[in-house]
Structure 1
Amino acid sequence: MYKALRESTPVFRSPQAVVLSRLADIEMALKRTELFSSNMDAVDLGNIRPMIPLQIDPPEHAKYRRILDPLFTPREMARREPGVTELVNQMIDRFADRGECDFHEEFAVPLPCTVFLQLLGLPLEDLEQFLEWKDHIIRPEGDSGFDRRHETGAPTAQQIYDYFDRAIDDHITSPRDDVLSAMIAATIEGQPLSREELLDICFLFLIAGLDTVTDSLDCFFVYLARHPEHRRQLVEQPEILPSAIEELLRWETPVPGVARVAMQDTEVGGCPISKGERVSPLLGAANTDPAEFADPDRVDFTRNPNRHRAFGGGPHRCLGSHLARMELRVALREFHRRIPDYEIKPGTQLMYTAALRSVESLPLVFGVA
């Protein structure tokens, strides 16, 4: 589909948005925030104020990134890696002797959510509540598209604000070594973040932090289950894991596209776009564009360079990319160390979710050591 779009209508007007599928156009749309904004008109999830920093454009955007980027550096993630390794193994312990698991339900969903709760210093018993909220916002039942998102999401959004309001009070009373305490202690030009700013960052973290790693794990393990030669490569050459993850991010692109809104009348590739229209740069199409990638349809775990756009681009490039990479690396390393050989349960019909790409269920079967 990406290839067909790029070659026939690289700027395609769908009922919901103008879809961009050529790398050069996508890069331009992601970088030129004065033309294509990431503000609240681009995506409405029921939030009452912009999610920070995603829905704040430059130059304001930079001041928030200066506070948040240091909390998600590779060094910070390395410090947290032993805890994630322990967690991954605890999850594998629960099904390793059974010879089968629902990978989605038992691993891909709980892992990033538990890491998220630990990272923000929130009680692990709130996991089910968080999953419920996330699904209500990202995948509302009977979703009728962009225009009803606010009314379906608003009641849940209010519950999320209320929850984090209490969590902030708790962290002010007893600070600890976690991201929420670090945000409360941070200052911009000598001023601490306001209560509303903290809530707007937390809202984004919940939406962005829980689902995207789940999607990536699902997509990666479906691919590896179906391509035993690539799986064996990971088992026999664990040192290629970091570059294999980059290639799987490129090839699978679990977040296939992002949303922007036109700030003025403009045109892209000869197609007029009116102020206020939604625009969707397709990251998945950028990641398979031969303008950037030699032999783009071949999955090569040693591909170098690999400038994929799975984490977006421009000023709004994913804040949590180092966290996601660390979680994926630990998950793939430990799973393949302990369960090197697995397949999708015969007869399974995989059902992919719309928009963000995960599967509703992923039954894997494997030998028991």
Structure 2
Amino acid sequence: MWNGTDRGWTSTVEDLLVDASGTTNTDLVIAEAAVGPDDPMLVMYTSGSTAEPKGVIHGHGGVVRHPYNLLPFRDLVPGDVLYTPMPLFWVGGLTYTLVSAMHAGATVVFEGRFEAGATLDLIEAEKVTHVVGWPHMSQALTEHPSFPTRDLSAVRGGSLDALLPPGLRVGDPELRANSLGMTESLGPHSIELIGSALPEAKRGSFGRAVPGIEHRIVDPSTDEEVLEGELGEIWIRGYPLMLGLVGAPNHAVFMSDGWYRTGDVGHLDADGHLYFKGRMGDQIKTSGMNVMPREVELVIEEQPEVMHAFVAGVTHTERGQDVAAAVVLRPGMSVDSEEVLERLRGDLSSYKVPRHVAIYDSPEDLPWLESGKIDLRRLVGMLAERYAS
């Protein structure tokens, strides 16, 4: 059944179990022999938060191997219970959660739509050990009125630091081990032990390349590798990389030696730690100066009243672009745009301080994609309509 209506392409769990009961080991051997690691397994579309969605083709080898190879970085063991609202049409739900759980012998609790109270009910009732979600979920859950009385003692891992027992929390998000990935790489291509604390010298690091993956930082105007510590475009190469894109010849997708241009901007340090600074297309050019939105967002989000901050460029006839920010406040908090700007002037270079700040009371006032990401294209349109000149 699908929404109460029969669909020929669906079946029940009971039917699936009956079909499986008739499958022999010989059937499995024949099926396995008919498929190779490089044979296409699925097409997964990118979120389309900054550009039109792309159809990413992945092979059997990457889909099976990569989630398994990430297990040591995630501390997943048999008997764990993972919770996520991430959809199965997205890499976060399919490979990072479902396939990983299958490898680990863990249980997955999926939720169709995130709502703080109902989600806390589910995490508590199912004794969830790992919560996999987006940063805005953490704030919504911890600020729910019932949060202080909840028994979340089973939680010991995942991506939401605030849900962990006090002894496991890192606190400073810039010192909490993180990962960087994309649909084209089946999730993380750079990672450290999730939830661990980074030394101060590695503040802001997104970890190091997963074994079997290479990183290169390149000047996008020359395709030449830049010096250590210099900003450039992040290129990746390795086993979990997609086979290609729907409708695009491979020579238009990959470099001749197999490297893939991610469109992300960052730099590497001497130890191979990767530092992500934003998307190439996100860079704001104002009065001849370059501004990376994420740098400004992090400073805005340090303010106690702020839940989320999103920064983008809006057209200006003389300066080229102005820096504009959309700021979502925490429930019950208030601050005006002038106060936000006054604080930023003490923390940012003058050209990085937004000329415009739009204040919103709820995340629901902003456009979101089904994947849980902000719809950046629509947000830029909102800011441009309000501030462009």
Q: Which has the higher strand share?
A: 2
Structure with more relative contact order (C-alpha pairs < 8 Å, separation 6 or more): 1
TM-score, with normalisation over the residues of structure 1? 0.30
TM-score, with normalisation over the residues of structure 2? 0.29
Larger Rg computed on CA atoms: 2
Q: Which has the higher helix share?
A: 1
